């Protein structure tokens, strides 16, 4: 048995089905049953304002849908397909399921509204024959007949039925516009009357907003269209615009034909205004509700089928059943039957008012999503986003904002429930399909644009650096042998600084070394992700260690400003790398860099033991850099229980003075160093410096000391040796004196 995804359905529909499906859903039950009440409540000016507000959501959405549809190949599922291919399958399925429920339960809503057309007949039977007939006696058979016809014959019959009911609908509207006022006191002057009952404005909007929705009904036929890129923009935009124009004229006609009291007291007031209204308006109402039901019945199963084809449901059997299509057009028979059953449940209940409010919220979420996709694609400036129909980013942004805000203005409680339900459904999807990508699909372009503009802005010098922050770059060929330098850069770049880690590959650039670099890069990214750090990782291929250093010190900083620290690392117990580090220090210093050399030990880091800093003179370059680096390192969560301890040497007669000077310096610089953590040691020429470190800092998590060029001239490599009793030790050489403010 072939899977549904292997079928190549025959697609032969053009723009007309999109237009008629959309316009027949737009001009639905609300037009006949609620617009008179709306005009009577808030006045013609109020309803015209609400039409404008409502279309501030629907018009940008129609433009966004048209834009997205002309940029990508749109398969079955309409809006679901567009959202899932932009936001990822998990978010697509989340919104798609809510969209499907909106469409499926809308079928029930329209069928129940369809029974309103039979109100005069039911009333006549009850009065003359004393026989009460419940509306379910009409709605249930009507739903079953409609559902079975579409289930058996598919979209082609549904479209043919649409042409018939749209014709009746147009005749009813024509009769209405040719009709006469109900009374001689029709308030034509109300066209210029200020708003009334403004406190009910958004309540009325909540009632009539479903009348503006429906453009998505045509989009749901995307899988049956010969050319979705042409048909969706044409059908969707023309239906939205023509629906808006018709509503404006309907409001003006209602206002000119009846008093506010008449409009508010008679929901079917149009039947008293239209020519032969007693028959044509009920027929129009029946046609409008039936056409809306057909439109929803055509698109809901296709949305469900597309979700199942993407295997978003937890059961493979359910995905197979609902995703299966029939015939050349891949008709979603199983999904149609399921939709019929779901609609039948709500029709049997007889009222879906409360559910309809939540459903309208899901429509708003869908519209907000479509506008957000369009805006983010504009902002991200992805070269692959080349729609033949172009909207404007500010239209899409406005549509997203209006849809989101109007949700909460219309009904805060239902809006909250809808948002919570969406989030719960998303986390469920994410848990079931952990391998699927999410928001990063579309936000990648946005993050790229933001970072690009920020880096250019910072590098341009418009914002002068007023305070120092570390922008470090380090190089090592022992990335996967020792972690300490990787950890150090992670600490520095976590909160306050920037870090770039370069793995050195010795050799000439070739196809082989390029392949090796790509494999190592994947390992580096995995390693960086495990640390949850904020540093950038990369590889560098160079024939020698010296040439590699020469390359990296010329590498632009990721922060938009130049790198200011170069970090080296060696194994304290096997210091084979020390000679090549030392011989390249002068070249690095020529670039005005601060230098850090980390002597790694085999010990595990005991963070709670804190950082020990050995200082000599606070007015020299190294000491201030050492203190600031320790403060930056403490910003990492691993060091949350650690503290900084300062150690210094002083003649016996100046020990208290030295302690006070350091305390004032710490206090003035607002540094996290307690006075009790300041240790002043009496100078003793007989005691070696390495011995002092072993006595006081042997258990420290990290020990920081300074080194100067003149020391290297006399001691060379030996200056970094002999610290076996101490754990990890960081040697610091500052290029310039830093101000701690």
> pLDDT class for 158, splitting at 50, 70, 90?
low
Q: What is the CATH number of the domain that holds 703?
A: 3.40.50
Residue 459 is predicted with a pLDDT of 61
**What letter would DSSP give residue 605?**
P
Q: For residues 418 and 480, state if they share a domain.
A: no
Residue 456's φ and ψ, nearest 5 degrees, are: -60, -40
**Claim to verify: residue 285 and residue 177 sit in the same structural domain:** yes
Residue labelled with tokens 């300074």:
706
Is residue 322 scored above 80 in pLDDT?
Answer: yes
Last residue of a domain, one of 418, 434, 450: 434
User: Cβ distance 548 to 540 under 8 Å?
Assistant: yes
pLDDT in tens, 677-714: 999 998 888 888 889 999 999 999 999 999 988 888 88
Structure tokens at 10: 């025959």
- Sheet of 498-506, strand order: 536-542, 498-506, 471-476, 565-571, 594-600, 729-733, 702-706, 611-615, 644-650, 678-682
pLDDT band with cut points at 50, 70 and 90 for residue 584: very high
| pLDDT score of 509 more than 80 | yes
Which DSSP helix (H) or strand (E) runs through 375?
A: helix 353-380
CA 179-185-187 angle, 5° bins: 80
Res 117: pLDDT: 75
Say what the pLDDT of residue 520 is: 93
- CA-wise closest residue to 606 among 699, 534, 686: 699
Distance CA 319, CA 337 (A): 15
Q: Is residue 321 part of a domain?
A: yes
Interhelix angle 353-380/79-87, rounded to 10 degrees, is 50
Residue with tokens 């020390």: 578
Q: How far is Cα 333 from Cα 322, in angstroms, rounded to an integer?
A: 8
Please tell me whether residues 427 and 477 are part of one structural domain.
no
In terms of domains, do 371 and 488 share one? no
Query: Do 351 and 493 reside in the same domain of the chain?
Result: no
Does some domain include residue 1? no
Q: Please, what sign has the CA dihedral across residues 300, 306, 311, 315?
A: positive
580 or 291, greater pLDDT: 580
For residue 191, pLDDT over 50 is answered with no
Domain boundary among 405, 434, 463: 434
Quick check: 217 pLDDT over 80?
no
Q: pLDDT digit string (tens) for 262-276?
A: 888 888 899 999 999
Task: Say if residue 421 is in the same domain as residue 570.
Answer: no
pTM score of the predicted model: 0.65
Mean pLDDT, the chain, integer: 83
- The arithmetic mean of pLDDT across residues 523-542, rounded, is 85
* pLDDT at residue 463 greater than cutoff 70: no
Residue 175 and residue 266 in one domain: yes
Half-sphere exposure of 282 (CA within 13 A, CB side): 11
- More reliable by pLDDT, 512 or 668: 512
- Whether the per-residue pLDDT at 192 is higher than 70: the answer is no
460 is written with which tokens?
């341009």
Confidence of residue 378 (pLDDT cuts 50, 70, 90): confident
Write the CATH number for 175.
1.20.1740.10
Residue 243 has pLDDT above 60, yes or no: yes
Q: Which two tokens stand for residue 290?
A: 């039936």
Whether residue 50 is contained in a domain is answered as yes
Q: Residue 444 above 70 pLDDT?
A: no
How much is the pLDDT for 24? 79
Q: Which residues contact 188 (CB under 8 A, 6 or more apart)?
A: 255, 256
Instruction: Mark whether 77 and 129 lie in a shared domain.
Output: yes
Select from 434, 462, 488 the last residue of a domain. Answer: 434
Q: Is the alpha carbon torsion for 3, 5, 10, 13 positive or negative?
A: positive
Rounded-to-integer distance, Cα 396 and Cα 639, Å? 45
428 lies in the same domain as 475:
no
Q: What is the pLDDT of residue 696?
A: 93
Predicted pLDDT of residue 606 = 92
Residue 222 lies in a domain: yes
Decide if pLDDT at 4 tops 50.
Answer: no
Same domain, 364 and 476: no
Which sign does the torsion angle of CA 342, 347, 348, 351 carry?
Answer: positive
The answer on pLDDT for 5 being more than 50 is no
Query: How many contiguous H segments (helices) and E segments (strands) does the chain have?
Result: 29, 10
Quickly tell me which residue has 């006081």 as its tokens. Answer: 696
DSSP states of 251-292 as a string?
A: HHHHHHHS-HHHHHH-TTTHHHHSTTHHHHHHHHHHHHHHHH
- What pLDDT is stored for residue 75 in this prediction? 67
The average pLDDT across 395-406 equals 92
Structural domain contains residue 320: yes
Q: Residues of 358-395 as b/e, b for ≥16 C-beta within 10 angstroms?
A: bbbbbbbbbbbbbbbbbbbbbbbebeebebebebeeeb
Query: Does the pLDDT of residue 189 top 50, yes or no?
Result: no
Decide if 598 is inside a domain: yes
**Residue 513: predicted pLDDT:** 93
**pLDDT at 609 exceeding the cut of 80:** yes
Quote the tokens at residue 568. Answer: 């080296």
More confident residue, 247 or 4: 247
What are the C-alpha distances in Å from 321 to residues 2, 47, 309?
12, 45, 10
Question: Is-contact 45 260, C-beta < 8 A?
Answer: no
CA 38 to centroid of chain Cα atoms:
36
Would you say residue 221 lies in a domain? yes
Q: Would the pLDDT of 3 be above 50?
A: no
pLDDT interval class at 461 (50, 70, 90): low
- Provide the pLDDT for residue 186: 45
- At 48, the pLDDT band (50, 70, 90 cuts) reads very high
CA distance 552 to 556: 9
Residue 572: Cβ-neighbour burial (10 angstroms; 0-12, 13-18, 19+): buried
Cα torsion angle, 730, 736, 737, 738, sign: negative
SS3 545: helix
- Would residue 532 count as lying in a domain? no
Would you put residue 676 in left (φ > 0), alpha (ψ -120 to 50) or beta? alpha
Share of residues in the chain with pLDDT > 70 (%): 86
Q: What is the pLDDT of residue 159?
A: 67
- Interatomic CA distance for residues 15 and 231, integer angstroms: 4
Domain count, the chain: 2
Q: 385 by DSSP, 3-state: which? A: coil
Q: Is the pLDDT of residue 173 over 80?
A: yes
More confident site: 611 or 203: 611
**Which CA distances in Å does 459 have to 453, 464, 557, 590?**
10, 9, 9, 22
Contact 679, 696 (CB under 8 A): yes
3-state helix, strand, coil in the chain (%, to 5): 65, 10, 30
Which domain range does residue 303 map to? Answer: 13-434
Confidence of residue 190 (pLDDT cuts 50, 70, 90): very low
Q: Would the pLDDT of 516 be above 80?
A: yes
**Highest mean pLDDT of the ranges 111-115, 290-294, 437-441:** 111-115
The answer to whether residues 475 and 429 belong to one domain is no
Residue 494 sits in the same domain as residue 410 = no
pLDDT tens per residue, range 58-91: 999 989 888 887 776 666 667 788 778 777 788 8
């Amino acid at each position: 048995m072939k899977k549904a995804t292997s079928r190549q359905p025959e697609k032969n529909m053009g723009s007309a089905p999109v237009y008629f499906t959309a316009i027949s859903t737009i001009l639905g039950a609300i037009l006949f049953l609620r617009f008179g009440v709306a005009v009577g409540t808030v006045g013609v000016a109020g309803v015209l304002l609400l039409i404008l507000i409502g279309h501030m959501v629907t018009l940008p959405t129609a433009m966004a849908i048209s834009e997205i549809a002309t940029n990508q190949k749109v398969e079955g599922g309409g809006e679901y397909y567009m959202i899932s291919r932009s936001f990822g399958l998990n978010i697509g399925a989340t919104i798609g399921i809510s969209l499907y429920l909106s469409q499926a339960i809308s079928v029930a809503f329209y069928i129940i509204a369809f029974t309103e057309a039979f109100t005069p007949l039911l009333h006549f039977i009850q009065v003359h024959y004393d026989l009460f007939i419940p509306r379910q006696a009409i709605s249930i058979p009507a739903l079953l007949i409609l559902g079975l016809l579409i289930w058996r014959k598919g979209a082609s019959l549904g479209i043919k039925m649409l042409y018939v009911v749209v014709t009746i609908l147009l005749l009813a509207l024509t009769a209405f516009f040719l009709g006469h006022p109900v009374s001689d006191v029709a308030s034509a002057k109300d066209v210029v009357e200020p708003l009334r009952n403004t406190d009910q404005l958004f309540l009325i909007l909540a009632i009539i907003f479903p009348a503006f929705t429906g453009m998505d009904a045509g989009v749901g036929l995307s899988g049956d269209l010969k050319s979705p890129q042409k048909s969706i923009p044409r059908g969707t935009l023309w239906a939205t615009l023509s629906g808006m124009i018709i509503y404006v004229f309907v409001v003006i006609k209602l206002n000119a034909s009846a008093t506010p009291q008449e409009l508010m007291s008679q929901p079917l007031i149009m039947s008293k205004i239209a020519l032969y209204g007693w028959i044509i308006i009920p027929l129009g109402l029946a046609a409008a509700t039936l056409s809306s039901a057909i439109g929803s019945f055509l698109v809901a199963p296709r949305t469900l089928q597309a979700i199942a084809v993407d295997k978003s449901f937890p059961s493979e059997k359910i995905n197979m059943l609902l995703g299966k299509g029939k015939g050349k057009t891949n008709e979603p028979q199983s999904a149609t039957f399921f939709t019929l059953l779901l609609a039948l449940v709500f029709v049997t209940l007889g009222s879906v008012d409360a559910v309809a409010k939540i459903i309208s919220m899901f429509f708003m979420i869908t519209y907000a999503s479509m506008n957000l996709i369009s805006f983010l694609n504009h902002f991200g400036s992805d070269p692959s986003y080349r729609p033949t129909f172009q909207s404007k980013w500010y239209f899409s942004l406005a549509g997203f904002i209006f849809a989101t805000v109007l949700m909460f203005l219309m009904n805060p409680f239902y809006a909250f429930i809808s948002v919570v339900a969406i989030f719960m459904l998303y986390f469920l999807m994410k848990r079931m399909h952990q391998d699927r990508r999410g928001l990063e699909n579309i936000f990648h372009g946005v993050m790229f644009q933001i970072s690009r503009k920020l880096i250019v802005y910072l590098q341009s010098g418009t914002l002068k650096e007023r305070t120092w922050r570390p922008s470090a770059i380090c190089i090592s060929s022992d990335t996967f042998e020792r972690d300490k330098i990787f950890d150090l850069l992670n600490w520095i770049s976590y909160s306050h600084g920037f870090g770039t880690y370069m793995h050195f590959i010795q050799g000439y650039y070739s196809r082989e070394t390029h392949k090796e670099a790509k494999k190592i890069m994947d390992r580096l990214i995995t390693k960086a992700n495990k640390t949850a750090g904020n540093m950038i990782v990369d590889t560098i291929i160079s024939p020698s260690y010296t040439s590699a250093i020469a390359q990296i010190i010329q590498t632009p900083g990721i922060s938009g400003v130049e790198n200011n620290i170069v970090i080296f690392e060696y194994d304290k117990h096997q210091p084979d790398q020390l000679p090549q580090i030392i011989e390249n220090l002068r070249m690095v210093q020529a670039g005005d860099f601060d230098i850090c050399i980390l002597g790694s030990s085999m010990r595990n880091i005991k963070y709670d033991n804190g950082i020990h800093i050995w200082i000599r003179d606070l007015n020299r370059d190294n000491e201030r850099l050492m203190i600031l680096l320790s403060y930056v390192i403490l910003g990492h969560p691993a060091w949350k229980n650690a503290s900084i301890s300062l150690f210094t040497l002083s003649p016996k007669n100046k020990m208290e003075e030295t302690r006070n000077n350091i305390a004032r310096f710490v206090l003035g610089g607002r540094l996290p160093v307690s006075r009790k953590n300041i240790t002043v040691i009496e100078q003793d020429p007989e005691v070696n410096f390495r011995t002092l470190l072993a006595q006081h800092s042997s258990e420290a998590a990290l020990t920081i000391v300074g080194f100067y060029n003149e020391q290297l001239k006399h001691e060379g490599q030996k200056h970094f040796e002999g610290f076996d009793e101490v754990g990890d030790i960081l040697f610091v050489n500052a290029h310039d004196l830093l101000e701690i403010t």
